[in-house]
Structure formats: structure tokens, C-alpha cells
Amino acid sequence: MAMLLLASKVYPEFCVPLWVIVVCASSITAGTLFGGWNIIKTVGYGIYKVRLIHSIVDQIGSALIIISSSVIGAPTSTTQVVTTTLMGVGAGERPHHVRWMEAKSIAAGWLLNIPACMLFGAFYCFIFLKILS
């Protein structure tokens, strides 16, 4: 949203207005409130039955991967890192307890996400360019 404001020359330099921060934070909160529980349930129980030790190892492993990626400048999705690290934690302890079909459906969702986001991005760009010009 801030980049759109900058590109449309509403703001002459990059700054994120308070209202943009509030709108984005509210949107993320609403998304978690209304849809996040399904994701939490899927990751916490659908892939592998998570216990405290799994959660700790998952978070440490995910943090190391995300920090390493940031250091080398590689883009990462924190959600995908945490989810796949959990699959690795489960496979490291008991590979036969990991629900691989659930993991397969999550991976399929990720693969569909890339072209879908590209299409929506192109559509929104087209719309905003028409509106702003």
C-alpha cells in the first residue's frame, strides 16, 4: 500500500502513514481471527501431532533458516519455512507419523499460489494504472 502511495506521487518520499499501518495490521488480525484457526489446526495436528519439543525445534530451525536466507538476500515465506520445517521435524522423529497426503495438498496449494498471485498482481496493476492515469 505504501509503495502504491509512493508510485502515485501522493507522498514525495517513502514513508508509511499511520493509517496504512493500522489498515494492514487490522487486515492481518481479521484474517487470522476468521481463517487462521484452520491453518493453525492443519499445521499443528494435520501434518504431524505437535508436542512442545516439536514446536521448540521447529521454531529454532525456522529461525535459523529465515536468518540465513535474510543474510544472503534470498526471499522466503515464513509460513512455508515453518510448515516445511515441521514436516522435517516429524520425519526426523517418526516419518510414518507424518501425514504426507496433507503435506502434498499444502505443496499443491503453494504451487497454485504463484501463478494465481501473478495473475491477480497483473490485474490490480492494470486497474490501478487505469485509475491513476
Encode pLDDT of 39-62 as tens digits.
Answer: 777 777 888 888 888 888 998 999
Residue 123's pLDDT is 95
Read off the DSSP letter of residue 8: T
pTM equals 0.64
Q: Which of 102, 72, 105, 79 lies closest to 90, judged by CA?
A: 102
Q: What are 72-130's pLDDT values in tens digits?
A: 988 888 888 988 999 999 999 999 999 999 889 888 988 998 899 999 999 998 998 88
Let me know: does 81 contact 62? Beta carbons within 8 Å.
Answer: yes
**For 130, which DSSP code?**
H
The residue ranking higher by pLDDT, 37 or 85, is 85
Domain ranges within the chain, ordered by starting residue: 1-36, 45-133
